[in-house]
Structure 1
Amino acid sequence: MEGLGWFAAIIVGGLAGWIAEKIMKSDMGLIMNIILGIIGALVANWIFMLIFDATLGGWIGQLVVGVIGACLLIWVARLIRGRA
Protein backbone atom coordinates (compact mmCIF):
# COMPACT_ATOMS: atom_id res chain seq x y z
CA MET A 1 0.00 0.00 0.00
CA GLU A 2 1.41 3.37 -1.00
CA GLY A 3 1.34 6.21 1.51
CA LEU A 4 1.53 9.95 1.09
CA GLY A 5 4.76 10.54 3.02
CA TRP A 6 5.23 12.57 6.19
CA PHE A 7 5.11 16.04 4.64
CA ALA A 8 2.00 15.26 2.60
CA ALA A 9 0.38 13.57 5.61
CA ILE A 10 0.87 16.74 7.67
CA ILE A 11 -0.63 18.93 4.94
CA VAL A 12 -3.58 16.61 4.27
CA GLY A 13 -4.02 16.05 8.03
CA GLY A 14 -4.15 19.79 8.66
CA LEU A 15 -6.72 20.30 5.91
CA ALA A 16 -8.79 17.34 7.09
CA GLY A 17 -8.71 18.55 10.69
CA TRP A 18 -9.67 22.09 9.65
CA ILE A 19 -12.58 20.85 7.52
CA ALA A 20 -13.75 18.57 10.35
CA GLU A 21 -13.48 21.51 12.77
CA LYS A 22 -15.81 23.53 10.53
CA ILE A 23 -18.26 20.64 10.03
CA MET A 24 -18.42 19.80 13.75
CA LYS A 25 -18.40 23.49 14.80
CA SER A 26 -15.53 23.04 17.23
CA ASP A 27 -12.73 25.46 18.01
CA MET A 28 -9.25 23.94 17.80
CA GLY A 29 -5.82 25.23 16.88
CA LEU A 30 -3.61 24.39 13.93
CA ILE A 31 -1.60 21.72 15.75
CA MET A 32 -4.75 19.98 17.04
CA ASN A 33 -6.24 20.10 13.51
CA ILE A 34 -3.15 18.36 12.13
CA ILE A 35 -3.20 15.76 14.90
CA LEU A 36 -6.94 15.11 14.48
CA GLY A 37 -6.61 14.86 10.70
CA ILE A 38 -3.70 12.41 10.80
CA ILE A 39 -5.09 10.24 13.61
CA GLY A 40 -8.56 10.47 12.07
CA ALA A 41 -7.22 9.23 8.75
CA LEU A 42 -5.50 6.31 10.48
CA VAL A 43 -8.66 5.38 12.38
CA ALA A 44 -10.95 5.73 9.35
CA ASN A 45 -8.54 3.78 7.12
CA TRP A 46 -8.50 0.98 9.70
CA ILE A 47 -12.33 0.95 9.87
CA PHE A 48 -12.63 0.98 6.07
CA MET A 49 -10.16 -1.92 5.81
CA LEU A 50 -12.25 -3.92 8.30
CA ILE A 51 -15.57 -3.22 6.59
CA PHE A 52 -14.72 -2.94 2.88
CA ASP A 53 -11.25 -4.54 2.73
CA ALA A 54 -10.12 -1.39 0.87
CA THR A 55 -9.68 2.32 1.44
CA LEU A 56 -9.55 5.48 -0.65
CA GLY A 57 -6.20 6.30 -2.20
CA GLY A 58 -4.43 9.45 -3.29
CA TRP A 59 -4.53 12.95 -1.86
CA ILE A 60 -8.27 13.49 -2.31
CA GLY A 61 -9.19 10.05 -1.01
CA GLN A 62 -7.03 10.46 2.06
CA LEU A 63 -8.47 13.93 2.64
CA VAL A 64 -11.99 12.48 2.61
CA VAL A 65 -10.96 9.64 4.92
CA GLY A 66 -9.17 12.10 7.22
CA VAL A 67 -12.24 14.35 7.46
CA ILE A 68 -14.48 11.39 8.27
CA GLY A 69 -12.03 10.11 10.87
CA ALA A 70 -11.47 13.54 12.45
CA CYS A 71 -15.23 14.13 12.69
CA LEU A 72 -15.55 10.73 14.33
CA LEU A 73 -12.82 11.60 16.84
CA ILE A 74 -14.42 14.96 17.67
CA TRP A 75 -17.76 13.22 18.18
CA VAL A 76 -16.21 10.58 20.47
CA ALA A 77 -14.40 13.28 22.48
CA ARG A 78 -17.68 15.11 22.94
CA LEU A 79 -19.37 11.90 24.08
CA ILE A 80 -16.66 11.31 26.66
CA ARG A 81 -16.87 14.91 27.92
CA GLY A 82 -20.68 14.78 27.86
CA ARG A 83 -21.21 17.53 25.28
CA ALA A 84 -22.58 15.45 22.38
Structure 2
Amino acid sequence: MGLIAFLIVGGIAGWLASIFMNKSQGILMNIVVGIVGAYIGGFLGGAIGLTATGFVGSIVMATIGAVILLWVLGKVRT
Protein backbone atom coordinates (compact mmCIF):
# COMPACT_ATOMS: atom_id res chain seq x y z
CA MET A 1 0.00 0.00 0.00
CA GLY A 2 1.37 3.40 -0.88
CA LEU A 3 2.21 5.99 1.73
CA ILE A 4 -0.66 8.30 0.75
CA ALA A 5 -3.19 5.45 0.86
CA PHE A 6 -1.76 4.34 4.20
CA LEU A 7 -2.25 7.83 5.65
CA ILE A 8 -5.76 8.10 4.21
CA VAL A 9 -6.80 4.72 5.63
CA GLY A 10 -5.26 5.66 8.98
CA GLY A 11 -7.06 9.01 9.03
CA ILE A 12 -10.43 7.54 8.14
CA ALA A 13 -10.06 4.66 10.60
CA GLY A 14 -8.96 6.96 13.42
CA TRP A 15 -11.79 9.35 12.69
CA LEU A 16 -14.38 6.54 12.67
CA ALA A 17 -12.96 5.10 15.89
CA SER A 18 -13.10 8.52 17.57
CA ILE A 19 -16.77 8.77 16.58
CA PHE A 20 -17.56 5.26 17.87
CA MET A 21 -15.70 5.86 21.14
CA ASN A 22 -16.96 9.47 21.53
CA LYS A 23 -13.43 10.88 21.72
CA SER A 24 -12.58 14.28 20.31
CA GLN A 25 -9.12 14.46 18.74
CA GLY A 26 -7.40 16.27 15.92
CA ILE A 27 -6.61 15.00 12.44
CA LEU A 28 -2.99 14.17 13.27
CA MET A 29 -4.06 12.11 16.27
CA ASN A 30 -6.73 10.41 14.15
CA ILE A 31 -4.05 9.36 11.66
CA VAL A 32 -1.76 8.05 14.41
CA VAL A 33 -4.58 6.15 16.11
CA GLY A 34 -5.70 4.75 12.76
CA ILE A 35 -2.22 3.57 11.78
CA VAL A 36 -1.59 1.92 15.16
CA GLY A 37 -5.11 0.50 14.96
CA ALA A 38 -4.32 -0.97 11.55
CA TYR A 39 -1.43 -2.89 13.05
CA ILE A 40 -3.55 -4.06 15.98
CA GLY A 41 -6.46 -5.02 13.71
CA GLY A 42 -4.15 -6.80 11.28
CA PHE A 43 -2.48 -8.74 14.07
CA LEU A 44 -5.71 -9.75 15.77
CA GLY A 45 -7.43 -10.50 12.46
CA GLY A 46 -4.52 -12.69 11.37
CA ALA A 47 -4.60 -14.49 14.72
CA ILE A 48 -8.22 -15.56 14.13
CA GLY A 49 -7.81 -16.18 10.41
CA LEU A 50 -9.27 -12.96 8.94
CA THR A 51 -7.54 -10.91 6.28
CA ALA A 52 -8.43 -7.44 5.04
CA THR A 53 -8.62 -7.16 1.27
CA GLY A 54 -9.12 -3.94 -0.61
CA PHE A 55 -9.59 -0.38 0.54
CA VAL A 56 -12.84 -0.90 2.46
CA GLY A 57 -11.56 -4.06 4.15
CA SER A 58 -8.46 -2.20 5.27
CA ILE A 59 -10.55 0.61 6.72
CA VAL A 60 -12.81 -1.84 8.57
CA MET A 61 -9.87 -3.78 10.03
CA ALA A 62 -8.01 -0.59 10.99
CA THR A 63 -11.15 0.88 12.57
CA ILE A 64 -11.66 -2.23 14.69
CA GLY A 65 -8.06 -2.05 15.83
CA ALA A 66 -8.33 1.69 16.53
CA VAL A 67 -11.48 1.19 18.61
CA ILE A 68 -9.65 -1.48 20.62
CA LEU A 69 -6.69 0.89 21.05
CA LEU A 70 -8.89 3.77 22.26
CA TRP A 71 -10.74 1.44 24.62
CA VAL A 72 -7.49 0.14 26.14
CA LEU A 73 -6.08 3.67 26.45
CA GLY A 74 -9.29 4.78 28.16
CA LYS A 75 -8.98 1.94 30.68
CA VAL A 76 -5.30 2.67 31.34
CA ARG A 77 -5.86 6.38 31.91
CA THR A 78 -8.60 5.92 34.52
Match of 2:64 among 59, 63, 68: 68
User: In structure 2, what is the Cα distance between the partners aligned to 1:58 and 1:9?
Assistant: 12
Q: What is the aligned length? A: 78
What is the TM-score normalised by the length of structure 2?
0.95
Give the residue type in structure 1 aligned to 2:48.
I
What is the TM-score normalised by the length of structure 1?
0.88
Give the residue type in structure 2 aligned to 1:36.
V
C-alpha RMSD over aligned residues: 0.8
Instruction: Return 5+ residue gaps in structure 1 as ranges.
Output: none
Give the residue type in structure 2 aligned to 1:20.
A
User: In structure 1, what is the Cα distance between the partners aligned to 2:33 and 2:7?
Assistant: 10
User: In structure 2, what is the Cα distance between the partners aligned to 1:11 and 1:33?
Assistant: 10
2:35 paired with 1:38: yes
Which of the two has higher C-alpha Rg? 1
CA drift of 1:5 comes to 1.6
